[in-house]
Structure 1
Amino acid sequence: METEPLTPVAPHRVRCSFSEQGWSDVVFVHWPCAERDIAPLLPPRTRPDLFDGTAWVGVVGLGMSVRSPLPARFAELNVRTFAVDERGRRGLVFFSLEASHPGFVRVARAVGRLPYRSAAVECTKTATETAYRVERSGVGLGLRVRRGGRIAPTGADRFLTERWRMFSTWYRWPIEVPVAHEPWALDSAELLDFTDAGLLAEFGLAPPSRPVVRFASRVDARFGLPVPL
């Protein structure tokens, strides 16, 4: 099955919005990872999506502003990878979504069966730097980047950010959740510090090697209703 092309806007419309969110101060840290390490962690009917012959994993820190279905504002840090379903459609798979809003975490886990976890997540900013730190039940992770100027997306940038669905498992059934938002406006960034205190190790993942680091100020997103794969 041919893999769908990468596009800066969603190839679908989210007509019935299940959740509307705003993401701000978004820090992307992505790096290559062996396909064999990722494949066992994916939902059924999906496989690793490859760029330059390798799988990729990422850590993304962001400020979350949820308008529906449960209004909330909090900091989040997630660990994710990239997958393709049996129809060749590209999407994201989240290993962990660490959030500093226990109520939202409970709803997301109960209703969507998403891997949200209640944690202490902090975002700190200066005129030139943005940092995220998460602590939960004896594990944690911290990162700090120096923000740069606006860039024209590279092929790697497009692969790592132009994603329009999420793959997950609802109880025993693999599902997809469509998402739509305006194109990312990406800034360059330099990784100044990255410390894994066991969060990546929970999934057998190693810390960044040759990372691609980017920053985005804000984007608004709409999530559609989940449907079976």
Structure 2
Amino acid sequence: MTDYKEQSKETNWDDGHRLWPLPNMPWTMKQTWNDLLFAHFPVNFNVLRKLVPNIFPLDTYDGVCWVGVVPFHMTDIRLRGLPPIPGTDKFPELNVRTYVTIDGKPGVYFFSLDATNLLAIKVARTFYHLPYVRANMKVEKQGDMIEYESVRKSEDARFVADYRPVSEKYFAEKGSFEEWLVERYCLYTLNPKGVPLRCDILHHPWELQLAEANIKENTMLSSRGIVVENDSVVLHYSKQIEVRMWPLVKAF
């Protein structure tokens, strides 16, 4: 039998930093994520509990839940065994997410994923049961400054910001708040029958930088009924990371 865990290391990748083994099956998709901003907002547990399916246990840090708005742009998108398909191999994406854990496996739960590519949206909604929506998006880079704009087509959900890194690169310390926020190696979703599913991912540990951002417009949270505790926002930046995704499996 082929050991697909070994195949995950075909480019000297190491999955030793993950808390649980990868599924014994081949990865299905490869992506590179670029110029990410992690903008995290504190949210009361009771507020968030009403918005996330009860089957997903919410994570808290010091008793507080956090919701992230994460703009970035993807490149080098391809399915395993296939070359990149022109027109679908790169596009911007904007995620609104929070954090849950099932069976000791900390992961991400998405409220929404905005993107420009209609085919990619249909594929992700069909095969990964993710709440992708289409938006008009623009990403420009001026030196180390990222100018980002996303305006959803179907509703008043928009994010307009300029952001950039303001520190040297570093890795989150073990047990730190930053590690709790970003070092998560799966996503959770529900299929149409309400069955909780997990998608495992693999990438190197995040190289973070502190960030500053001028957030000019942000209705990404209010459009989903998310009320933040206060106006404080925790900002991090990451330049680039290569990611591999596995097929969905049952979360329990």
Tell me whether the two structures share a fold, i.e. TM-score over 0.5: yes
Aligned to 2:183: 162
Aligned to 1:146: 164
CA separation of 1:138/1:226 partners in 2, compared to 1, >3 Å: closer, same or farther?
Answer: closer
Higher deviation after alignment, 50-59 or 34-43 = 34-43
Aligned alpha-carbon RMSD (Å)? 2.0
Q: Deviations over 1:73-95 (max 9, x none)?
A: 1000110000112x232110000
Cα deviation, residue 44, structure 1: 4.5
Larger radius of gyration: 2
| Larger strand percent | 1
Cα deviation, residue 19, structure 1: 1.4
- SS where residue 119 of structure 1 aligns? strand
Is the contact between residue 97 and residue 112 of structure 2 (CA under 8 Å) also seen in structure 1?
Answer: yes
Alignment of 1:73-112 (within 5 A): 73-85=90-102, 87-112=103-128
Aligned to 2:223: 202
Cα deviation, residue 103, structure 1: 0.9
Aligned to 1:39: 49
Q: Where do 5+ consecutive residues of structure 2 fail to align? A: 1-14
Question: Percent identical across equivalent pairs?
Answer: 27
| Amino acid in structure 1 at the alignment position of 2:97 | R
Moved over 3 A (4+): none
Higher deviation after alignment, 63-72 or 115-124 = 63-72
CA separation of 1:138/1:81 partners in 2, compared to 1, >3 Å: closer, same or farther?
Answer: same
Q: Normalised by the size of structure 1, how large is the TM-score?
A: 0.88
| Amino acid in structure 1 at the alignment position of 2:162 | R
Higher deviation after alignment, 102-111 or 8-17 = 8-17
Aligned to 1:59: 69
| Amino acid in structure 1 at the alignment position of 2:56 | T
Q: 115, 120, 131: which is aligned to 2:136?
A: 120
- SS where residue 17 of structure 2 aligns? coil
Cα deviation, residue 63, structure 1: 1.0
Residues in 2 aligned to 1:58 and 1:8: alpha-carbon distance in whole angstroms: 26
Q: Normalised by the size of structure 2, how large is the TM-score?
A: 0.81
